[in-house]
Amino acid sequence: MRYLHGRLWAFVLCLPLLASAATPAAKQAPVPAPAQRGGVPVLIYHEVVTDTRVEGDTVISLANFSEQMQLLADEGWATIGIDELVRSMKGEITLPANAVVLTFEDGWKSVLNATPVLERLGFKASFMIIPGNGIGGDYLGWSDIEKLAKNPRFGIVSHTMSHPWDQRNNLVTWVQDKANERGRQDALYELSESKRVLEQRLARPVPQLAWPAGWFDDNLVKLAQEAGYTALLTTEAGLNRRGDDVLRIRRTFVNGACDLLTFRRTLASGQTYTCQPRSRND
């Protein structure tokens, strides 16, 4: 099934152990939407599909996604761009009370199911694009990406040229061998060429990078700076606060099977939860 593409399987299997399955909402007291007290959550979505039967780690149904976005609107959350988050972390601006960042990983074609919802609510979002081998087919085409880039509420983020995801052969392993200058060069190419291609195609700066599978080390952070990036997004869970490192922005996975109560907890804590698929009549 393409929703669990091989690369995404590797992505999921290599994540740190997630929190235990969420308790059904009926057994929990309601959790109020938090005032902006602990920091800003940055949410990670992958595929947004019309089939409710495939919800899980990297897939959310359009119905569930729409419910989550409506909750954000109803409870006063303000979506912001990554650039605004970075400026806030540097102490340059003050954000709205309930600020949240929405990100969509890998540039899947199915995110076009989500964009009408975002546009209807006036929400901001950022899309991580793989310009080398993540264009067309199951992924967004250049015309789709160019259209997204023209929307002032949408941001485009580099996700490297080819998204290396093999545990034994990826950006980190390439640079860990100090004697392997070719590995360093290959890693720098993945970072710099992705930035160059996106900026050339879209005629706009692309100063932000999201690490493939969340894998990085200090060597790669230095290479990313050398390539010209000024903000780096990880998959390390948590909230982002003023004074935090903009080269290590925390992000939180949204499990597509979780209910709205768990979604509220994700917003409040910045932690990732796993959930059993919900029973639906449709």
- pTM (predicted TM-score): 0.86
CA angle 16, 231, 178 (to 5 degrees): 65
Residue 31's pLDDT band, with cuts at 50, 70 and 90, is very low
In a domain, 120, yes or no: yes
In a domain, 192, yes or no: yes
Residue corresponding to tokens 């998204």: 163
Least confident of 89-98, 175-184, 245-254: 175-184
In a domain, 156, yes or no: yes
How confident is the model at residue 20, as a pLDDT? 35
DSSP state of 108: B
In a domain, 181, yes or no: yes
CATH code of the domain covering residue 57: 3.20.20.370
- The alpha-helical segments, DSSP class H, found in the chain are 6-13, 62-74, 82-89, 115-121, 142-150, 171-176, 181-202, 218-226, 260-269
List, for residues 34-69, the tens digit of each pLDDT value.
Answer: 334 589 999 999 999 998 888 888 999 999 999 999
In a domain, 274, yes or no: no
CA angle 31, 242, 124 (to 5 degrees): 65
How confident is the model at residue 15, as a pLDDT? 43
In this predicted structure, the answer to whether residue 24 has a pLDDT above a threshold of 80 is: no
Other beta carbons within 10 Å of 163: 24
How confident is the model at residue 159, as a pLDDT? 98
DSSP state of 194: H
Q: Is the dihedral of CA 128, 133, 138, 139 positive or negative?
A: positive
Cα separation, 280 vs 282, whole angstroms: 5
Which helix (H) or strand (E) element contains residue 100? strand 99-104
Q: Could you tell me the residue range of the domain that residue 161 belongs to?
A: 2-24+37-269
How confident is the model at residue 55, as a pLDDT? 84
How confident is the model at residue 37, as a pLDDT? 56
157 phi and psi, to 5 degrees?
A: -125, 140
Tally of structural domains, the chain:
1
In a domain, 67, yes or no: yes
In a domain, 282, yes or no: no
Cα separation, 162 vs 212, whole angstroms: 9
